[in-house]
Amino acid sequence: MNAESTVRRRPLILAAVMASMAMIAIEATIVSTAMPQIAGQLGDLQLYAWVFSSFLLTQTATTVVFGKLADTFGRKPVLLFGIAVFLIGSILCGFAWSMTSLIAFRFIQGLGAGAIQPVALTVIGDLYTMEERAKIQGFLASVWGVSSVVGPFAGGLIVANLSWAWVFWINLPIGLLAAAGFFLFLREDMVHERRRVDGLGAGLFALSVAALMVALTEAGTQDWAVAAVSAVVFVAALALFFAQERRAADPMMDMRLWSRRSILTVNAATLFSGMSVIGLTTFLPMYVQGVLGQSALVAGFTLTAMVLGWPVGATIAARNFKRFGLRPTLVFGAVLLPVGAIAFLVLSPGMSPLVPALGSVVMGLGMGFLNTTAIVMIQGSVGWSERGAATASNVFARNLGSTLGASALGAVFSLSLATGGGPAGGFEEIRRLLEQTGTLAADGAARLALGASLHLTFLGVFLIALATLGLALLVPRPAPAKTDAPVEALPVEV
Average pLDDT of the chain, as a whole number: 77
Distance CA 193, CA 62 (A): 19
Query: Does the pLDDT value for residue 303 go beyond 90?
Result: no
Structure confidence at residue 36 as a pLDDT band (50, 70, 90): confident
User: Which of 347, 330, 216, 205 is CA-nearest to residue 273?
Assistant: 330
Distance CA 139, CA 133 (A): 10
Taking CA 302 as the corner, what is the angle to CA 177 and CA 353, rounded to the nearest 5 degrees?
155
Q: Which pLDDT score, from 0 to 100, does residue 289 have? A: 79
Alpha helices in 351-425 (DSSP H): 354-380, 387-419
Q: Which pLDDT score, from 0 to 100, does residue 491 have? A: 41
Q: Which pLDDT score, from 0 to 100, does residue 362 have? A: 93
Residue pLDDT, tens place only, 430-469: 555 555 555 555 556 667 777 778 888 899 999 999 999 9
Distance CA 374, CA 370 (A): 6
Q: Which pLDDT score, from 0 to 100, does residue 425 have? A: 45
Query: Does the pLDDT value for residue 473 go beyond 60?
Result: yes
Concatenate the DSSP letters of all residues of 86-133 into one string: HHHHHHHHHT--SHHHHHHHHHHHHHHHHHHHHHHHHHHHHHS-HHHH
Structure confidence at residue 287 as a pLDDT band (50, 70, 90): confident
Q: Which pLDDT score, from 0 to 100, does residue 479 have? A: 61
Query: Does the pLDDT value for residue 428 go beyond 60?
Result: no
Structure confidence at residue 191 as a pLDDT band (50, 70, 90): low
Q: Which pLDDT score, from 0 to 100, does residue 488 have? A: 40
**What is the signed CA dihedral for 380, 382, 383, 388, rounded to 10 degrees?**
-90
DSSP 415: H
Structure confidence at residue 199 as a pLDDT band (50, 70, 90): confident
Structure confidence at residue 292 as a pLDDT band (50, 70, 90): confident
Query: Does the pLDDT value for residue 470 go beyond 90?
Result: yes
Query: Does the pLDDT value for residue 356 go beyond 80?
Result: yes
**Can you give 170-239 as a three-state secondary structure string?**
CHHHHHHHHHHHHHHHCCCCCCCCCCCCCHHHHHHHHHHHHHHHHHHHHHHCCCHHHHHHHHHHHHHHHH
Query: Does the pLDDT value for residue 484 go beyond 50?
Result: no
**Residue 470 neighbours by CB distance under 10 Å:** 13
Averaged pLDDT, 255-281: 85
Query: Does the pLDDT value for residue 84 go beyond 80?
Result: yes
Query: Does the pLDDT value for residue 219 go beyond 90?
Result: no
